[in-house]
Structure 1
């Protein structure tokens, strides 16, 4: 597992949803990490991928507006992301610092 940091060694991970990206990032250089290279269980990898694939479901992309219950949907997405972050922390023990970056995209599309 390598990133763009000067020493190329990751010590600070971030869990964050985004379009077309794996949900784990170097929190220092913002490099998107290949989830298959992260030393976590296959089950947790699958949970993280399912969660990240739901990113943005609170937005009607054809109208570029927030769905009627979009704020609540994003809130639930962030809640699950926080829970998954705790699981990542548990599996990686003290080897990495792990944090969560919640989505705030709903505010941009609120009418």
Structure 2
């Protein structure tokens, strides 16, 4: 997949949620990659896009604070992300090195605004 690395191509990918971004990234340069160019099934693309759409559901964005059950919501989101990462690995079988990068936003908010 094309990225901003010196060699202009990466085979080392990271699955990571973020607001307004596709969930596939270059593990080296951090380039956000177009999920449509990854040779995976349309069903898996749909699952990944639904997963990333829910990123940050544990935060009250208007008040800039963690929801009461925010840590648990983020943990569930990370579990789903790990499961989706395993599905990607199965579909790509050795073509790419793929790792999952869990969200740590809830812990950051919990430390920033302790109860």
TM-score (norm 1): 0.97
The aligned counterpart of 1:55 is 55
Instruction: Report 1:1-20 matches (<5 A).
Output: 1-20=1-20
User: 1:10 deviation in Å?
Assistant: 1.2
5+ long unaligned stretches in structure 2:
none
Q: Which runs of 4+ in 1 moved over 3 A?
A: none
Which secondary structure state, in structure 2, belongs to the residue aligned with residue 40 of structure 1?
Answer: coil
Quote the Cα distance in structure 1 between the aligned partners of 2:79 and 2:25: 19
Which secondary structure state, in structure 1, belongs to the residue aligned with residue 13 of structure 2?
Answer: strand
Q: Deviations over 1:20-68 (max 9, x none)?
A: 1000001011110001111100000000000001100000111111101
Q: Deviations over 1:45-104 (max 9, x none)?
A: 000000001100000111111101100000000000000000010111101000000000
Aligned-residue CA RMSD (Å): 0.7
Q: How many residues align?
A: 111
User: 1:9 deviation in Å?
Assistant: 1.6
Quote the Cα distance in structure 1 between the aligned partners of 2:91 and 2:31: 21
Quote the Cα distance in structure 1 between the aligned partners of 2:96 and 2:61: 36
5+ long unaligned stretches in structure 1:
none
